[in-house]
Amino acid sequence: MSDDRETDTASEGSYQLSRHKKSPSSLTNLSSSSGMTSLSSVSGSVMSVYSGDFGNLEVKGSIQFAIDYVDSLKELHVFVAQCKDLAAADVKKQRSDPYVKTYLLPDKGKMGKKKTLVVKKTLNPVYNEILRYKIDKQTLKTQKLNVSVWHRDTFKRNSFLGEVELDLETWDWDNKQNKQLKWYPLKRKTAPVPLEAENRGEMKLALQYVPEPMPGKKLPTTGEVHIWVKECLDLPLLRGSHLNSFVKCTILPDTSRKSRQKTRAVGKTTNPVFNHTMVYDGFRPEDLTEACVELTVWDHYKLTNQFLGGLRIGFGTGKSYGTEVDWMDSTSEEVALWEKMVKSPNTWIEAILPLRMLLIAKISK
């Protein structure tokens, strides 16, 4: 996803403020002449740019693997041999580009995911790879092993093809039969939370609503929303040890470039400090129930930006100005922050929220 990036020369520790002027009606009056998209086209053009896709492909086929604990190394070895009869992501050509991923649950972030290479253009991939976890045997007995198969397309999007879960608490490590390669039928996703929502880090931020009284009127008619992006914590590394992250903000339903603000990029750390405040004005009280603050974190590398995770802070009602929209999907923590901000005007409300996978709305020119 390429993106027009301005260079920002502010020093890392400095505090930045950027303003976005809005006419009071700009959230509702999304006319094409103003360079903003209409509400219906916003909801219609939401696309899954980077997400792990669940439920789009049927789950079929099976996977062959074996597990063994090597006492001398204190390692769990997962030998991934092959899969057969997988679902076809490319229906016309009857093929997928599958790879296998493993996690130790419940704390998948701690031990991390392990992945095989992608095998292209096949429904019967052969891997013959060993995925290793450094873990002592006692801890291993508290874990579950999740083995999942995914299709990766040319845009690096992942589609779920099935999974197997083994409870290691009841596993007999001394039984030689258990060290043999076995075929397991692939199953649909059992966990209510998709595994692809792996730890994407967190954002520390604060929000404030500042009502503006009109001259001669006691009650404010419009106000400003202030978004203070303080820092991110434990961002994922997609390029080895390199990271050059920045945060972008859009007030949905307005996806025009005019509504978008961003921080400078901060390099060489998974815990970047931004200290950047964005101000959006023209918010009427009723706009606060219809709009949603979308904050997305990106890794900037050469001419591309790769999505790391994001937040959508609003009331999470699924609707905006009477239209059903995909992006009004705030989590309970995100909703709680927005509610506190609306109820406590002129007060900074701080939170640390987990970044998550988002379906990103297209930016209108």
**Residue 237, exposed/middle/buried by CB under 10 A (0-12, 13-18, 19+)?**
exposed
pLDDT at residue 244 above 50?
Answer: yes
Backbone angles phi, psi at 109, to 5 degrees: -70, -30
On average, the pLDDT of the chain sits at: 80
Higher pLDDT, 2 or 176: 176
The whole-number pLDDT of residue 102 equals: 93
**pTM exceeds 0.85:** no
Tokens (6 digits) for 197: 């929502």
The whole-number pLDDT of residue 216 equals: 64
Element (H, E) at 211: strand 202-213
Residues in the chain: 365
Backbone angles phi, psi at 178, to 5 degrees: -70, -10
Between strands 319-320 and 46-47, the pairing is unpaired
The Cα–Cα gap between 362 and 256 comes to 9
How far are the Cα atoms of 90, 272, 292 from residue 284, in angstroms, in the given order? 47, 33, 14
pLDDT at residue 195 above 50?
Answer: no
The whole-number pLDDT of residue 29 equals: 36
Per-residue pLDDT tens digits for 220-235: 678 999 999 999 998 9
Element (H, E) at 342: helix 332-343
Per-residue pLDDT tens digits for 16-43: 556 555 443 444 433 222 222 222 222 2
pLDDT classification of 213: cutoffs 50, 70, 90: low
pLDDT at residue 313 above 90?
Answer: yes
Lowest mean pLDDT among 29-38, 45-54, 266-275, 297-306: 29-38
Lowest mean pLDDT among 164-173, 300-309, 331-340: 300-309
pLDDT classification of 45: cutoffs 50, 70, 90: very low
Lowest mean pLDDT among 68-82, 104-118, 135-149, 337-351: 104-118
H helices present in 134-246, as ranges: 137-140
pLDDT at residue 121 above 70?
Answer: yes
Tokens (6 digits) for 222: 């419009």
Q: Is the dihedral of CA 280, 30, 37, 353 positive or negative?
A: positive
pLDDT at residue 4 above 50?
Answer: no
pLDDT at residue 9 above 70?
Answer: no
pLDDT classification of 154: cutoffs 50, 70, 90: confident
The whole-number pLDDT of residue 16 equals: 56
Count of beta carbons in the 10 Å neighbourhood of residue 13: 7
pLDDT classification of 285: cutoffs 50, 70, 90: confident
pLDDT at residue 50 above 70?
Answer: no
Omega into 345 within 30° of 0, i.e. cis? no
Higher pLDDT, 257 or 239: 257
Count of beta carbons in the 10 Å neighbourhood of residue 107: 11
Higher pLDDT, 32 or 358: 358
Tokens (6 digits) for 137: 């045997």
The whole-number pLDDT of residue 67 equals: 96
- What's the whole-number mean pLDDT along residues 1-19? 39
Q: Quick check: 249 and 292 in contact, CB under 8 A?
A: no
pLDDT classification of 51: cutoffs 50, 70, 90: very low
